[in-house]
Amino acid sequence: MPDQDDDPAPDALPHILVVDDDPALRDLLLGYLAESDMRVSAVEGGRAMFQVIDDEVVDLVVLDLRLPGEDGLSLARRLRERAAIPVILLTGRAEEADRVMGLELGADDYVTKPFSPRELLARIRAVLRRTHQRPALEEVRSDKRRAFRFAGWEFNLRTRRLIAPDGRKLDLTNNEYSLLVAFCSAPQRVLSRDQLLDLSRLHNAEVYDRAIDVQVLRLRRKIEIDHAKPRLIVTERGAGYRFNVAVETLV
């Protein structure tokens, strides 16, 4: 597992999904955006787009309007019905009506072809800044949440899987999943064992009061560099536990 220093580890890189049937453009954006500190996936159509969205946490979709088969407007409509993922449309100069329709469907911005990768990067960063959210605990409990990020880790609630800073994928038991949701829902707060029990029950896990310490130990073994000297899940003597890290929530 990667070393941690005294400074908080950076959040996981934003994951950008490019959907375009032009392989040359996909390759160009894969390289350029990756060099700009982004994680990039690139696919040629809607079926592959939804496969990525179902399997991974996606922060923003760059979507071409003119795709073979199901077009970008139809895909944008379906995407908006399924998730609150920001969308930037790629359009042609003669597609003003489609641009307007796309914005009415909820797209966040558009870029007209031909465009420079630098312009697209600027628009991606602007949209990510506008849509970046840190919901309150009550919002986190809603079904709209998709993932948490903390200290380089990515916790995908849809797949119930943890992705480590080095890219390894870790499966969680029901109890570990429930406990980590509870911690991510209340970062930097001291949670008593009773509170952890209550929060865990909200997520339908079988976590019992006498087993909280055991569950915390098991979770530490998965996410701590040294579970005997924990730095993420900190024990507060006589009080409970504190998730000692900043958490980003994706909805």
Report the alpha-carbon distance of residue 57 to residue 154 in Å, rounded: 8
Domain with CATH 3.40.50.2300 in the chain: 15-131
Q: How confident is the model at residue 51, as a pLDDT?
A: 92
Domain with CATH 1.10.10.10 in the chain: 137-250
For domain 15-131, give its CATH number from 2.30.40.10, 3.40.50.2300, 1.20.1250.20, 3.20.20.70: 3.40.50.2300
Distances (CA, A) of 141 to 27, 112, 183, 200: 38, 38, 12, 11
Of the candidates 205, 201, 164, 199, the one whose C-alpha atom is nearest the C-alpha of residue 184 is 199
State both tokens at 236: 């507060």
Contact 16, 33 (CB under 8 A): yes
* 127: CB partners within 8 A, 6+ apart: 60, 86, 88, 108, 109
pLDDT (tens, 9 = 90+) of the chain, 251 residues, equals 334 444 333 346 899 999 999 999 999 999 999 999 999 999 999 999 999 998 888 999 999 998 988 888 899 888 887 777 889 999 887 667 777 777 777 788 889 888 999 999 999 999 888 766 434 344 444 456 789 999 999 999 888 889 999 989 998 877 788 899 999 988 999 888 878 877 765 444 444 445 688 788 889 999 999 988 999 999 998 889 999 999 998 87
Q: How confident is the model at residue 2, as a pLDDT?
A: 39
Of the candidates 156, 141, 199, the one whose C-alpha atom is nearest the C-alpha of residue 175 is 199
Of the candidates 178, 134, 131, the one whose C-alpha atom is nearest the C-alpha of residue 157 is 178
State both tokens at 128: 């990510």
Fold held by 137-250: Arc Repressor Mutant, subunit A (1.10.10)
Sheet of 190-191, strand order: 190-191, 240-243, 233-236
